[in-house]
């Protein structure tokens, strides 16, 4: 019966996955098509129709004045990666304490993490904005890194702790018998076992941070500090010369490339991390 059910369900699942993949690919394809057109072709041809040639200049223009998109990519990379590091530095020891250390406040910590994770960041964006002005950190990228890192640590703690509690107790006990303290156990025993899951969480946090819009808009007013989403919106709304639609599309493609490259590079690690999480659950 299970084999028959599998033969029926598997083709359906494959079709559903392909449909979802198509929904993800179509907007990217439309942006690529639009980004390769001239201004006249963008206005006169269909959305799925390429122009008479490929206007690579639409992509190249983003790296010269007044756009200087390379600086925006660097800003996004700095903030996204920095926030991921902050999140993991907080989340990994906390996850160890409440999962392997069996801290008595485990339930309360996880409840707070879930609450922070479910709370829309937009609901606290204005208080964060006021706080940044109060302490003189308004417009500072470091404050943006700390803000995203602290909020992201709740998500990281929730995921890491649920996987970490399935680390074999015998492995941890053996390390303690050999004289390893908690720090050595954490860094030399638990860390290698958790590395695929840690990298998976890091990739997810990286995408969240890269796509963050409202906080970047509120906390980074200087154009030299713009992240990629803010820079693209500035192009779209004319703050950098009133660029036409094909340039906005080209910017959207360029803005997605760093995340796409990182995901392709760490694809196997991501699959291993997801598999480890599924098997531990």
* pLDDT score at 62: 72
* pLDDT score at 190: 86
Tens-binned pLDDT, residue by residue, of the chain (281 aa): 456 565 667 778 878 888 887 787 888 888 888 888 877 777 777 667 776 777 777 777 777 767 778 888 899 999 999 999 999 999 999 888 888 766 677 778 788 888 887 888 888 889 999 999 999 999 999 999 999 999 999 999 988 988 888 888 788 888 878 887 888 888 888 888 888 889 889 998 999 999 898 999 999 988 888 998 888 887 766 555 556 777 788 888 888 888 888 878 877 776 666 665 544 44
For tokens 């992509």, the residue is 59
Task: Count the domains in the chain.
Answer: 1
In a domain, 238, yes or no: no
How many angstroms separate the CA atoms of 70 and 74, rounded? 6
In a domain, 45, yes or no: no
160: CATH:
1.10.3720.10
In a domain, 16, yes or no: no
In a domain, 6, yes or no: no
Neighbours of 35 (CB within 10 A): 23
For tokens 């890192």, the residue is 149
Contact 141, 75 (CB under 8 A): yes
ω into 138 cis (within 30 of 0): no
* pLDDT score at 2: 56
In a domain, 146, yes or no: yes
In a domain, 161, yes or no: yes
Report residue 31 as tokens. 């942006």
In a domain, 14, yes or no: no
* pLDDT score at 3: 60
Dihedral sign from CA coordinates of 140, 145, 150, 154: positive
| pTM summary value | 0.81
């Amino acid at each position: 019966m299970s084999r028959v059910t599998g033969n029926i369900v598997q083709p359906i699942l494959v079709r559903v996955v392909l449909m979802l993949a198509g929904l993800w690919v179509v907007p990217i394809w439309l942006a690529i098509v639009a980004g390769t057109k001239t201004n006249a072709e963008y206005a006169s041809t269909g959305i799925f129709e390429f122009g008479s040639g490929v206007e690579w200049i639409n992509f190249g223009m983003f790296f010269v004045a007044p756009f200087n998109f390379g600086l925006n990519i660097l800003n996004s990379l700095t903030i996204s990666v920095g926030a991921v590091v902050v999140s993991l530095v907080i989340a990994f020891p906390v996850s160890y304490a409440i999962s392997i250390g069996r801290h008595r406040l485990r339930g309360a910590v996880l409840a707070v993490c879930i609450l922070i994770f479910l709370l829309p960041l937009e609901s606290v964006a204005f208080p964060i904005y006021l706080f940044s002005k109060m302490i003189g950190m308004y417009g500072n990228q470091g404050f943006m890194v700390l803000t995203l890192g602290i909020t992201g640590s709740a998500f990281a703690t929730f995921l890491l702790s649920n996987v970490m509690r399935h680390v074999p107790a015998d492995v941890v006990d053996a390390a303690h018998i050999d004289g390893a303290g908690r720090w050595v156990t954490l860094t030399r025993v638990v860390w290698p076992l958790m590395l695929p899951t840690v990298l998976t969480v890091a990739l997810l946090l990286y995408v969240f941070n890269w796509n963050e819009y409202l906080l970047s808009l509120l906390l980074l007013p200087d154009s030299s500090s713009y992240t990629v989403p803010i820079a693209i919106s500035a192009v779209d709304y004319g703050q950098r010369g009133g660029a036409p639609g094909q340039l906005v599309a080209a910017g959207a493609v360029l803005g997605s490339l760093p995340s796409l490259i990182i995901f392709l590079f760490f694809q196997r690690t991501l699959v291993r991390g997801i598999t480890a999480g599924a098997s531990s659950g």
